[in-house]
Amino acid sequence: MTNASEVLSSIQSAFPGAVLDSRVESDSRLWATIDSKKILDVCKYMTAKLNFDHYSGSAGVDWIARKEMEVVEIMASHGAHQVVAMLKVKTPRDNPSVKSMTGLYWNAGWYEREIWEMLGINFEGHPELYPLLLSDPLVGAWPWRKDYKGYPDLTTGERAVAITTSEGYTEYTFPPTPAEIEAGTVVTEHPKYPTFREREEREIKSDSEMIMHLGPQHAMVPGPFLLDILVEGERVKKAFLDVGYIHKGIEKIMENRTWLQGITYTDRMCYVASLSNNECYCGAVEKILGLEVPERAQYIRVILEELSRIQSHLIGTGEFLTLIAGVGFAPWQYMIMDREKVISLIESVTGARLTHTFVRFGGVRNDLPEGFADQCRKVLPYMKSRTEEFIELFAQDPIYHARMENIGSISAETAKRMGCAGRVLRAAGVAYDMRREDPILVYPELDFDIVTGTRGDSADRIDCTLREILQSIRIIEQCLDKIPSGPIRTEVKIPKKIPAGEAYYRVEDPRGEMGMYVISDGGDKPYRVKVRGPFYATFQTLTPLLEGVYIADAVAIAGSMDGCPSESDR
Amino acid sequence: MDGIIEIITQFVAQEPAIFALIIGIIGALVLSAVVNVGAMLVIWADRKVMSDFCNRFGPNRVGGRWGILQLGADAIKLFTKEDVIPAGVDKGVYVWAPIIASAGTMLVAAAIPFGALHIGGKDYPLVVANMDISAFYVEAALSIMSIAVFMAGYSSNNKYSILGGFRGVARMIAYEVPMGVCVISVAVMAHSLNLVEIVQSQTIWYAFAQPLGFIIFIIALVTDLGRVPFDQSEAEEEIICGYSTEYSGIRWGLLYFQEYNNFLLGSILMSLLFLGGWNGPIIPIPLLDIISPMIWLLMKVIIVIWFIILIRASLFRLRIDQVTDLGWKWMLPLSLVNLGWAVIIGSYFA
């Protein structure tokens, strides 16, 4: 088994002088500052020699006091070892520019586009450095820089000026006032790039092709995003994805709220998985503080997170089934009904149906209510029998197999290379689960299997999801047997100002690997919170999967990923 | 001096053609009222039975616990909505599409017997036009809907609509042929193309005499009605509302109603051709014995409708290429096999 210090010494011996600064936090966390000239070589070496085949994303940090910016590359491995290497690359703040990873890792594209549009860090060699989440007028304002002054309030509409376009539509623009230009709150110089529409229209090669919009408002989308498909007849030739329709800027908001207030914002990232999001944020802060969570609190967290996984899987599967069967499909209603039982269980503990804000630094908000274990033991066998029934139902259905088998299939190699997460990755046959890879809480003491598929197609994804529910039930049953009595919150008083430090914490969200990179500068607010969303990672793979399929299959593929654009956009 | 009534009576007596016309108009009004009210009940049943399968309540506010007036409320809403014709549409075709759809449905209704009255030991079929080739005619008139679907899809100037129109036509052509062959198979056994005679000749239900044809017919019927698993032309999750995306208000209402008119008429046709129509023991109670053939037919129609709704609640939607594959590669050859079977069995017992 490789550990972090071995990785570090291996890099140091291969590239003398490349590691400017390093810190081995634990066996599985390595923090290193790499010379920006050598970062590509180091990453190439790590992937080839040290099994770091999982590029897990990157984060940009604006260190305004030090007059420099930092790009943190998060490198991990798909099961070969458990080390997560956080490689930092520094660049001057005046003209920030680092080398792009897109040549090495396919999935680096989106992460770098986001850093570029938010912080203005240029990526040399990125083939399509277009904005991802922001709308065009905001590009150039670099809103996540620490000296960003805010954008003028345009919501009143009083300042809108109507312009008639050449096609006869009316569009509204907001010309800046001289005072705003003076204050520097408006963007006067926009970077030049082709817009989304120009990019997709230049792909139209003949008259028989047309672009169809699936979204942002469409019966297919689980939340607002724009999926444009270039079709010829019934065949999809190319797909274009535009996200950012539900971009809430949660990472930036959290920088302006106290540490405790931040928990409520993690709820809103994905409301069907809010407990995992809570856990991820609180876990990262606990790591900075070096807190030990009492055992009872750990069990309570595990129980609730697994319950929330069950309900998330049920609604994700049910919603997807309506996409290929129509809204009148009865099993969808049955799934919602069953989910209601689970939600009531969670509600009896947290007091809320979806946005719980239940996890606290060093514990949980309140203890389990009287009789919760009995209620759970009543519901779980029922859920188990129902889930088995669903699995059997779909296994028998010939139309289900005709629609889903070999649709959108990804091989294990491709899934790893594209950095997919969660069910998409596991359906392809890669047993990669954060509960095993980066064990937190009491997961190491629990007995459960990681469900994997073989073909990696839509049918496998649904099958994996349903079988994961059975595993979650197993976990909860064990927890109910083992849960000790004791305090539910640590006795250490949580300070208002968290000491300076940084942590990267990973949990297994219902949609896959979720990570949060939290930096504290010793203040009462986080300096930077970077969320590595699981659906964000999977979402990128959608467009290549859609090439050459039928329109109906495009829906079957997009739906089978159990999307949550809200979490992807943050 | 003659009163106005006398003048009209004299005029009508002199001109029998006018008399026939007035009778015809009254008959058409009654027929369309009956069919449309029937379709309303089918829509209500679709929503209510569907909800039952899904463990929901369905409409339960307007008209008491059973929401029986919900459809009335919906119809009033549709009639009073603003009539929007989008700017880019091919206006003539756009306006005529729902009307042609309604006309096609009424043409079907004209030749379908809605049952029979049992008076004095004899059955009097309730049919507007008792033609010799009514089975063939009904089959042909059912296809008019596909023309209306294509008109609506083409004229809407919308990408979803045109795809829905294409899908609708491809699907209907693929399934009209096996459906027609099934009707011919029934006609071969009955030695008649007249629906009334087909019913009267069913001493044994044709569903048992030619089970293959029965199965093919019910699949083709569901396809023709455009219901799950064959609702590709209006697959909401793919192409919004298909050919009727750009329609609103009463025009949309007409298109929507025609689907359910066809649903009702198709279910009646199914019962007539394969389930023995109104044949059944006469209920030995005064007055009830007169309408007892209608009661039998109604029961069969309700079972067919219930079954088709059950299909919608339990099956996935097929892809359009799978639908046409199934139609041309499986249903058509199998229906021809069934035709051969019908010829052999029919001529042996005849």
Written as six digits, the tokens of A546 are 């859609």
ipTM of the complex: 0.81
Please tell me the total number of residues recorded for chain B in this structure: 350
Interchain contact A397–B (C-beta under 8 A): yes
Residue from the list B53, B231, B319 with its beta carbon closest to the beta carbon of A326: B231
What is the pTM (predicted TM-score) of this model? Answer: 0.86
Is residue B60 domain-shared with residue B176, that is, in the same domain?
no
pLDDT attached to residue B304: 92
> How far does the CA of residue B343 sit from the closest CA of chain A (Å)?
33
Among residues B80, B95, B123, the one where a domain terminates is: B80
Domain boundary among B55, B80, B105: B80
- Beta-sheet strands, E only, within A151-258: 161-164, 170-173, 209-214, 226-232, 235-242
Nearest chain A residue to B160, by CA: A212
Q: Which of the pair, A175 or A69, is modelled with greater confidence?
A: A69
What distance in Å separates the CA atoms of residue A448 and residue A35, rounded to the nearest whole number? 42
Q: Does A403 touch chain B (CB under 8 A)?
A: yes
Q: Answer yes or no: do A330 and B313 touch at CB < 8 A.
A: yes
pLDDT by residue (tens digit) across B329-344? 999 999 999 999 888 8
Residues of B in contact with A333 (CB under 8 A): 54-56
**Mean pLDDT, rounded, of chain A:** 86
The answer to whether residue B8 scores a pLDDT higher than 70 is no
Domain at A250-361+371-569: CATH code = 1.10.645.10
Q: Are residues B20 and B165 in the same domain?
A: no
pLDDT-derived band of residue A207, with 50, 70 and 90 as boundaries? confident
Give contacts of A 318-377 with B, CB under 8 A: 321-330, 332-334, 337
Q: Where are the domains positioned within chain A?
A: 4-137, 152-185, 250-361+371-569
CA end-to-end distance (rounded Å), chain B: 65
pLDDT value of position A437: 82
Please give the pLDDT value at position B302: 92
Count CB pairs under 8 A between chains A and B: 87
pLDDT tops 70 at residue A154:
no
* B120 and B211 housed in the same domain: yes
Q: Which residues are CB-neighbours of A566 under 8 A, at least 6 positions away?
A: A223, A246, A248, A268, A269, A270, A271
Q: Is residue B259 pLDDT above 80, yes or no?
A: yes
Contacts of B54 in chain A (CB under 8 A): 328, 330, 332-334
pLDDT the model gives residue A109:
86
* pLDDT tops 70 at residue A185: no
Q: Are residues B96 and B72 in the same domain?
A: no
Does A395 lie at the interface with B, CB-CB under 8 angstroms? no
Show which of B22, B46, B80 is a domain's final residue. B80
- Both B131 and B13 in a single domain? no
Predicted local confidence at residue B2, as pLDDT: 59
B206 and B280 assigned to the same domain: yes
Q: What is the pLDDT of residues A249-278, one digit of tens each?
A: 888 888 888 888 888 988 888 888 888 899
Over the stretch A287-322, which tens digit does the pLDDT of each residue have?
A: 888 888 888 888 999 999 899 999 999 988 888 888
pLDDT score, position B189: 86
DSSP per residue over A148-168, as a string? -------TT-TT-EEEE-TTS
Neighbouring-strand partners of residue A29: A26, A84
Q: What is the pLDDT at residue A184?
A: 67
- Residues in chain A, overall count: 570
pLDDT at A329: 86
Look up the domain containing B339 and give its range: 82-349
Q: Report whether pLDDT(A158) > 70.
A: no
- B47 shares its domain with B93: no
Q: What pLDDT does residue B132 have?
A: 84
Looking at residue A151, its pLDDT comes to 66
| Across A156-170, A489-503, B207-221, least confident range | A156-170
pLDDT tens digits, one per residue of A5-53: 888 888 888 888 878 888 888 888 888 888 888 888 888 888 888 888 8
Identify whether residues B30 and B160 lie together within a single domain. Answer: no
Q: Give the closest-approach CA distance of B350 to chain A in angstroms.
A: 40
Q: Cβ contact (<8 Å) for A552 and B160?
A: no
Q: Are residues B70 and B150 in the same domain?
A: no
CATH number among 1.25.40.10, 3.30.460.80, 3.90.420.10, 3.40.50.1820, domain A4-137: 3.30.460.80
**B317·A322 Cβ contact <8 A:** no
Say yes or no: B210 and B74 in one domain.
no
Quote the Cα angle for A380-A386-A392, to 5°. Answer: 140
**pLDDT attached to residue A385:** 92
Among B317, B320, B324, B326, which would you mutate to test the A interface (most chain A Cβ atoms within 10 Å of its Cβ)?
Answer: B317
What are the helix (H) ranges across A326-397? Answer: 330-350, 372-396
Say yes or no: B29 and B43 in one domain: yes
The region of weakest confidence among A232-241, B221-230, B233-242, B310-319 is B233-242
Residue B301's pLDDT is: 92
Judged by average pLDDT, the poorest of A234-238, A395-399, B199-203 is B199-203
**Interface list for A 195-254 with B (CB within 8 A):** 210, 212, 218-220, 233-234
Do residue B186 and residue B329 come from a single domain?
A: yes
Quote the number of domains for chain B: 2
Distances (CA, A) of A256 to A143, A146, A265: 13, 11, 11
Query: Given this model, what pLDDT does residue B337 score?
Result: 92
Dihedral angle, C-alpha B222, B228, B229, B234, nearest 10 °: 100
Residue type, A559: G
Q: Which band of pLDDT confidence, cut at 50, 70 and 90, is reported for residue B206?
A: confident
pLDDT in tens, A77-100: 887 888 888 888 888 888 888 888
Pairing relation of β-strands A235-242 and A226-232? Answer: antiparallel
Q: Average model confidence (pLDDT) for chain B?
A: 85
Cβ(B117)–Cβ(B177) under 8 Å?
A: no
